[in-house]
Amino acid sequence: MKIRELMSLAFLACNMAVCAQNYKFVFDSKAKLPIVKEEGAVMVMPANVYADGVKFGYDFTASPGEVEAGKPFFFSVDVPDGNYKVTVTLGSKKAKGMTTVRAESRRLFLENIPTKKGEFKTYSFVVNKRDTKIGDKDRVKIKKREENKLNWDGKLTIEVNGDAPACAAICIEPASDNVPTVWLCGNSTVVDQDYEPWASWGQMIPRWFDERVCFANYAESGETASTFIGANRLKKILSLMKAGDYIFIEFGHNDQKQKFAGAGAYYNFATCLKTFVDEARKRGATPVFVTPTQRRSFDENGKIKETHADYPDAMRWVAKREGVQLIELHDMTRTFYETLGVEQSKRAFVHYPAGSFPGQGGPLADNTHFNPYGAYEISKMIVEGIKSLNLPLVEYLRPDYKAFDPAQPDAFDTFHWNNSPFIEVQKPDGN
């Protein structure tokens, strides 16, 4: 390793130990980018691997220098809790590229970005990094299955994937306090799913927005409105929430299964929804309700059956009573599934024959949880809901977003997703 590289590594390590500031990583020494000459820039070597006592480096899989060039990789950095502006320079001097960038638990930010040989493109987005701590005493009560999730592992991880991944540089800096955060609360239909082939709309929606807004997904599989509060997930959000933020709330799937005294759509559920509203408004944030996604349950006429009892209506009732804006995802997903039809709608869910994934001995047939295509399409419905409410968030949409109609969804064959290496055949909690 050259003396200059050693000195820059030492410089960065020292700075990282003090506070969150600008981190500049260069992956392509031949790119001759201006960042190479900037103070504190670190030339990342194949041997830079994230480990105990090492604050940054390649993570989870072999570094690209140790395998064939143009392979996907993960890069992790130790940073405190907060929102971070990530700027990536995509491209290579050696070859053309096709790059997808995700962060933390498979949150999609950039997809299928083409670059010609010698061409470089720069993009920015904002990533929320968190841990379980709430002040000095309290913690979020995460589930056993969450302990290994990238969302909770104490570091910020960037995933560079794609048909021909080409990433020349990554810069990380604290986001401006003026950037609003959209806090996502919900269940398995919203959560950042860590493992293929599972996916939810909450991890897809950042793809449609630029660096002027941050999506912080606190949803978790199996949660209800009341268990979300009981696990201190809302408390954690409230400890970080600021005026100008938003909080999107989608529950109803698991709430209907609760049988304790006082349970019910117009009792415990409605009361919990009002808690979300009241606490958000105290802090100057805007609550938005999202009615629950439909399940893939068809009647003999090819129409979706209602399986959520009174819970969608209860959410609408609370929204009207409290003056809360509401996105009708319940209705849009019904249209989406019925448009695809009984058989083709399986393409939006985790329906795969045995052997489709490593360790999958039997078929997967889940009519609640989405695959990446389904989650991607539903994220567009959320965007359309934001547009219909004329929320200021529409100002932050990326220029390549195109209007979406659930009655005219994107063709399945046009959707391209590069799998992450983490696979799990066990269903998420809740169904």
Model pLDDT for residues 323-343, shown as the tens digit of each residue: 999 999 999 999 999 999 999
**What pLDDT shows up at residue 21?**
72
**pTM score, two decimals?**
0.93
Pick the CATH number of 1-175 from 1.20.81.30, 3.90.1150.10, 2.60.120.620, 2.60.120.430: 2.60.120.430
Among 32-41, 208-217, 358-367, 371-380, the least confident range: 32-41
**What pLDDT shows up at residue 17?**
37
Q: Which of 187, 207, 130, 125 is nearest to 376 (CA)?
A: 207
Do domains 1-175 and 177-431 share one topology? The answer is no
Q: What angle do CA 102, 23, 130 make, to 5 degrees?
A: 55
Calculate mean pLDDT across residues 145-162: 94
**What pLDDT shows up at residue 14?**
40
Query: What confidence category does residue 35 fall into, taking pLDDT thresholds of 50, 70 and 90?
Result: confident
Q: Which of 289, 302, 316 is nearest to 389 (CA)?
A: 289
User: Is it true that domain 177-431 has CATH number 3.40.630.30?
Assistant: no
Query: What confidence category does residue 351 fall into, taking pLDDT thresholds of 50, 70 and 90?
Result: very high
pLDDT tops 60 at residue 1: no
**What pLDDT shows up at residue 54?**
86
* Domain boundaries, given as residue ranges, for the chain: 1-175, 177-431
Mean pLDDT of the chain: 92
pLDDT digits (tens, 9 = 90+) for 180-197: 999 999 999 999 999 999
**What pLDDT shows up at residue 10?**
42
107-115 β-sheet, strand order: 56-59, 73-77, 156-164, 97-103, 107-115
pLDDT digits (tens, 9 = 90+) for 83-93: 999 999 999 98
**What pLDDT shows up at residue 148?**
87
